[in-house]
């Protein structure tokens, strides 16, 4: 029997692009044989700001049944795939706020030796996708995590062009997640599950 793998897909999404990618990655991780938890970061924006943007308000309503992430999900996971839109080339405050609550688990060493990977989206092609993922990965180094990025390990990566993680250009919300991004999501999810299983199996053999 292959080693079981637990994958948490943890994301923040305001208008739905990151949510769509998160769902695709979760599905592909399940297809690769992992047990998956899909979790969203809690919203920090005031309700008035959400209500002022019909797309944001509709997405909040549509995803109300998705559980919010807790530290217990991080402890359960063998691998964590984190998703955030770019915010001035950086991680969205909602996801960063959650990561900043994990000091207790970090101090106890319970975030170390897990696999981590990330995905993002921006309105424009040069809107900070790479810098957002690199900023996200700074946290992983502090966790003592094992970073598994897709790299240029599949021919499709020379099409989407981002070795750091799955990314999508959404325009003003009018460019839906389509085949190129879905292929990148599959490649990333399969790679994360593959190496998480290998690492977990190897560590178990040493104990």
How high is the pLDDT of residue 92?
Answer: 98
How high is the pLDDT of residue 1?
Answer: 75
Q: What's the CATH number for 6-206?
A: 3.40.50.360
Name the DSSP class of 45: S
How high is the pLDDT of residue 20?
Answer: 97
User: Taking the mean position of all CA atoms in its chain, how far away is CA 118?
Assistant: 4
The pTM (predicted TM-score) of the whole model is 0.97
Q: What are phi and psi of 144, to 5 degrees?
A: 80, 25
List, for the chain, all residue ranges whose pLDDT scores fall below the cut of 50. none
How high is the pLDDT of residue 84?
Answer: 98
How high is the pLDDT of residue 141?
Answer: 98
Domain coordinates of the chain in residue numbers?
6-206
Sequence-separated (6 or more) residues with CB below 8 Å from residue 76: 6, 8, 37
Q: Measure the CA–CA gap between 70 and 31, rounded to whole angstroms.
A: 24
By 3-state DSSP, what share of the chain in percent is helix, strand and coil, each rounded to 5? Answer: 45, 20, 35
Query: Angle 134-144-136 (CA atoms, 0-180°, nearest 5)?
Result: 20
């Amino acid at each position: 029997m292959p080693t079981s793998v637990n994958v948490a897909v943890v994301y923040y999404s305001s208008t739905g692009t990151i949510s769509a990618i998160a769902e695709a990655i979760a599905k592909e991780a399940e297809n690769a044989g992992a047990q998956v938890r899909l979790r969203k970061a809690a919203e920090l924006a005031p309700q008035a700001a959400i209500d002022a943007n019909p797309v944001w308000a509709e997405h909040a309503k549509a995803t109300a049944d998705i559980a919010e992430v807790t530290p217990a999900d991080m402890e359960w996971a063998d691998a964590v795939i984190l998703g955030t839109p770019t915010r001035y080339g950086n991680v969205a405050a909602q996801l960063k706020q959650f990561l900043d609550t994990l000091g207790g688990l970090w101090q106890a060493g319970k975030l170390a030796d897990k696999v981590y990977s990330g995905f993002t989206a921006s309105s424009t092609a040069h809107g900070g996708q790479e810098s957002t993922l690199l900023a996200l990965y700074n946290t992983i180094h502090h966790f003592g995590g094992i970073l598994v990025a897709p790299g240029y390990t599949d021919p499709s990566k020379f099409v989407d062009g981002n070795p750091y993680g799955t990314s999508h250009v959404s325009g003003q919300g009018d460019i839906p997640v389509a085949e190129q991004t879905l292929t990148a999501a599959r490649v990333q999810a399969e790679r994360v599950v593959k190496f998480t299983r290998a690492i977990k199996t190897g560590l178990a053999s040493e104990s």
